[in-house]
C-alpha cells in the first residue's frame, strides 16, 4: 500500500454540535510512528474501520460508510462517532487525492488500555490496481466459516456484522485460497449457505434477478452491493436478500465479488470449476461504480 497522507482525529462526543473541527484534526506524516504501543488496536485488534474508494478526488458513498462505522461502533460498545467530525476529516484528506484511484481508511480504536478516550485516524493511499480482476475475474474457493446460519443471533459477542480491525482470519482465508491455486475465498456456513468473501460481498445473477446473502446472516452489509442494487432497481431488475445455498454459486448465470476499492470482480471459477463471465454487464457495473456516487 503506498501511503500518501494521514490525519489523526481527537474524537469529540457524537452530540457535539460544533461546525468547525479544524482543531481536532491534525495532519500527520504517514511514514512516521503515530500509534502508541499500548493502543488496543495494536494490542488486540480492538477497534473498527472503513475503506472508502476515491475516484479522481471524489470520495464514494461517504454517508453509507459513516452509517456503517456508527453501526460497528454500536455493536462493539465504542462511543458513537461524531459523523460531522469524521466527514470533516475525510474532506481534509481527500484534497490530497488528485486523479486516479485511491483509498481512504477510517480507523476508530478503543484507545489506550488505561486511557479514557478512543483514538482515531484517517489515511489516504494509492489503491491497488484492480483492472485485471475487474476484467478477467477472480477464481474463488469456498471455505467453511465454521458456524451455522443462526449463529449471529445466538452469539452476538462474535460481532459478526461489525467491521472490526480483527481481520487476521479473513487474511488467513485469502492465504488458504492462494494455497489452493485460487485468488480469493467465499465463506460458507457449515450448514451450506454462502456468506461473503474475506473482503467483499457476493452477488449472484439468475436471469433478471440479482441476489445477495441477507446481512442478518452475520456478514457486513456492503456499501457497494447496496449502491449496485439501487442502480439495478432503477434499470428494472429485481433484487433480493436471501439465504443462498453454496450450489447456487456454480449454477447462477453470473456472480461477482463486490467491494469499495476493487469494485465488481466477476467470479471466474468456483472450487476449480470454470464459470462464465458476463463481460459486458461487468464492464457496465464497474462504469457505474467508478462514476461519482454519494
Based on CB atoms, which residue is closest to ligand PLP, 111 or 222?
222
What are the C-alpha distances in Å from 45 to residues 30, 34, 198, 260? Answer: 20, 16, 16, 22
- Check binding of 258 to ligand PLP (CB under 6 A): yes
Among 66, 200, 211, 270, binds ligand PLP (CB under 6 A): 200
Based on CB atoms, which residue is closest to ligand PLP, 200 or 270?
200
Least distance to ligand PLP, CB of residue 229, Å: 11
**Phi/psi-derived region of residue 8, left when phi > 0, alpha when psi is between -120 and 50, beta in every other case:** beta
The Cα–Cα gap between 218 and 44 comes to 21
Among 189, 212, 259, 286, binds ligand PLP (CB under 6 A): 259
Nearest partner of 57 among 106, 95, 86, judged by Cα? 95
Least distance to ligand PLP, CB of residue 196, Å: 4
3-state secondary structure 85-102: HHHHHHHHHHCCCCCCEE
Q: Pull the grid cell for residue 11.
A: 474524537
Least distance to ligand PLP, CB of residue 51, Å: 6
| Three-state secondary-structure class, residue 68 | helix
H/E stretch holding 48 = strand 47-55
- Check binding of 142 to ligand PLP (CB under 6 A): no
Q: Which stretch binds ligand PLP (CB under 6 A): 22-30, 69-77, 111-119, 253-261?
A: 253-261
Based on CB atoms, which residue is closest to ligand PLP, 89 or 197?
197
The Cα–Cα gap between 161 and 221 comes to 7
Give the number of residues in contact with ligand PLP, rule: CB under 6 A.
14
Least distance to ligand PLP, CB of residue 41, Å: 16
- Check binding of 125 to ligand PLP (CB under 6 A): no
Among 210, 222, 244, 266, binds ligand PLP (CB under 6 A): 222
β partners of residue 202: 257
- x/- track of binding to ligand PLP for residues 145-184 (CB under 6 A): ----------------------------------------
Residues 52 and 59 sit within 8 Å (Cβ to Cβ): yes
Q: Which stretch binds ligand PLP (CB under 6 A): 127-135, 138-146, 192-200, 233-241?
A: 192-200
Place of cell 474508494: 53
Cβ contacts of 205 within 8 Å, gap of 6 or more: 211, 252, 253, 254, 255, 278, 281
β partners of residue 273: 270
Main-chain phi, psi angles of 151, to 5 degrees: -65, -40
Least distance to ligand PLP, CB of residue 236, Å: 23
- Residues lying near ligand PLP in the complex (CB under 6 A): 51, 196, 198-201, 220, 222-225, 258-260
Amino acid at each position: 500500500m503506498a501511503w500518501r497522507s494521514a490525519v489523526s482525529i481527537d474524537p469529540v462526543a457524537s452530540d457535539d454540535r460544533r461546525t468547525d473541527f479544524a482543531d481536532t484534526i491534525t495532519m500527520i506524516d504517514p511514514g512516521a510512528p503515530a500509534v502508541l504501543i499500548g493502543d488496543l488496536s495494536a494490542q488486540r485488534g480492538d477497534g473498527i474501520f472503513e475503506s472508502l474508494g476515491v475516484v479522481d478526488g471524489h470520495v464514494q458513498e461517504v454517508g453509507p460508510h459513516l452509517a456503517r462505522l456508527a453501526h460497528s461502533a454500536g455493536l462493539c460498545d465504542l462511543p458513537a462517532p461524531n459523523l460531522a467530525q469524521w466527514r470533516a476529516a475525510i474532506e481534509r484528506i481527500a484534497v490530497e487525492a488528485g486523479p486516479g484511484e485511491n483509498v481512504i481508511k477510517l480507523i476508530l480504536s478503543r484507545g489506550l488500555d488505561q486511557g479514557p478516550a478512543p483514538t482515531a485516524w484517517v489515511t489516504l493511499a494509492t489503491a491497488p490496481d484492480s483492472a485485471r480482476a475487474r476484467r478477467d475475474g477472480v477464481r474463488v474457493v469456498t471455505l467453511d466459516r465454521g458456524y451455522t446460519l443462526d449463529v449471529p443471533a445466538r452469539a452476538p459477542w462474535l460481532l459478526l456484522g461489525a467491521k472490526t480491525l480483527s481481520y487476521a482470519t479473513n487474511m488467513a482465508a485469502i492465504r488458504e485460497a492462494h494455497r489452493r491455486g485460487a485468488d480469493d475465498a467465499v465463506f460458507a456456513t457449515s450448514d451450506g449457505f454462502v456468506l461473503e468473501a474475506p473482503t467483499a460481498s457476493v452477488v449472484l445473477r439468475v436471469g433478471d434477478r440479482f441476489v445477495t446473502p441477507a446481512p442478518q446472516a452475520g456478514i457486513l452489509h456492503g456499501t457497494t452491493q447496496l449502491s449496485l442494487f439501487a442502480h439495478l432497481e432503477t434499470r428494472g431488475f429485481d433484487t433480493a436478500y436471501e439465504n443462498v445455498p453454496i450450489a447456487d454459486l456454480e449454477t447462477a448465470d453470473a456472480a461477482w465479488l463486490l467491494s469499495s476499492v476493487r469494485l465488481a470482480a466477476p467470479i471466474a471459477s468456483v472450487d476449480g470449476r470454470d464459470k462464465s463471465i458476463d463481460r459486458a454487464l461487468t464492464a457496465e457495473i464497474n462504469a457505474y461504480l467508478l462514476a461519482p456516487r454519494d
